[in-house]
């Protein structure tokens, strides 16, 4: 399933791209680290490639061009993801490249980007932890459509904000403490948000001890 969706996603980006510089990069294919991130982290956690753009072009202070490994831009938001290999980004980083890397991050921050560096070693050794990180990253930009928003009260809206801030699944008792409601009321809210397909059950356990996270 991943391979099929990945090929469709790349083909769509190529079809829609009119910028010859970015098109050339896409035609060369994405780097190994980026593909492994998509296969082991992004797709298992998110389930689609909506609003995700590979090799996204940004301008720098010298009127030149730089490229993000991945840009996540739902509703005009600016989220950037870079896959950091240990060799080029740590062990073999000389002074000039270190300064350039810091300038790159500063430029993105000043331009309004939320920047997320992911170590390649973490992708290979800690994929589950990376998936939780990505769910929280996506949650920062998550927008609920009007029909769902109209069905949510203050407790559901605050539950969504609570879920976005966490890097892990949470229990009904944690939500109850946050909302200052009874555990029974918290479970009722969580069941409602699962029905609205905003949250999902994370892991096994009885109804009382289940945990939840953003879809």
**pLDDT band at residue 146 using 50, 70 and 90 as cut-offs:** very low
What is the per-residue pLDDT for 144? Answer: 43
Burial (CB count <10 Å: 0-12, 13-18, 19+), residue 141: middle
| 76-109 pLDDT tens trace | 789 999 998 765 445 555 667 777 777 777 777 7
| 170-189 pLDDT tens trace | 999 999 998 888 999 999 99
- Residue 121, pLDDT > 80, answer yes
**pLDDT band at residue 46 using 50, 70 and 90 as cut-offs:** confident
Give me the mean pLDDT over the 15-20 stretch.
91
Residue 118: Cβ within 10 Å count: 22
What is the per-residue pLDDT for 90? Answer: 52
């Amino acid at each position: 399933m991943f391979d099929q969706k990945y090929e469709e996603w790349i083909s769509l980006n190529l079809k829609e791209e009119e910028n010859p510089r970015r098109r050339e990069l896409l035609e060369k294919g994405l780097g190994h680290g980026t593909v492994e991130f998509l296969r082991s982290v992004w797709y298992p956690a998110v389930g689609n490639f909506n609003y995700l753009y590979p090799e996204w072009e940004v301008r720098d202070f010298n009127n030149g061009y730089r490229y993000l490994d991945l840009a996540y831009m739902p509703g005009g938001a600016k989220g950037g993801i870079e896959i950091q290999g240990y060799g080029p980004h740590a062990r073999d980083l000389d002074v000039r490249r270190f300064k350039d890397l810091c300038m790159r991050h500063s430029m993105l921050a000043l331009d309004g980007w939320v920047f997320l560096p992911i170590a390649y070693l973490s992708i290979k050794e800690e994929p589950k932890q990376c998936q939780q990180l990505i769910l929280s990253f996506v949650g920062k930009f998550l927008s609920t459509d009007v029909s769902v928003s109209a069905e949510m009260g203050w407790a559901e809206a605050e539950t969504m904000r609570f879920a976005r801030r966490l890097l892990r699944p949470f229990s009904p008792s944690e939500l109850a403490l946050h909302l200052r409601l009874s555990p029974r009321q918290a479970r009722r809210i969580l069941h409602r948000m699962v029905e609205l397909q905003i949250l999902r059950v994370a892991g096994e356990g009885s109804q009382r001890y289940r945990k939840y996270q953003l879809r």
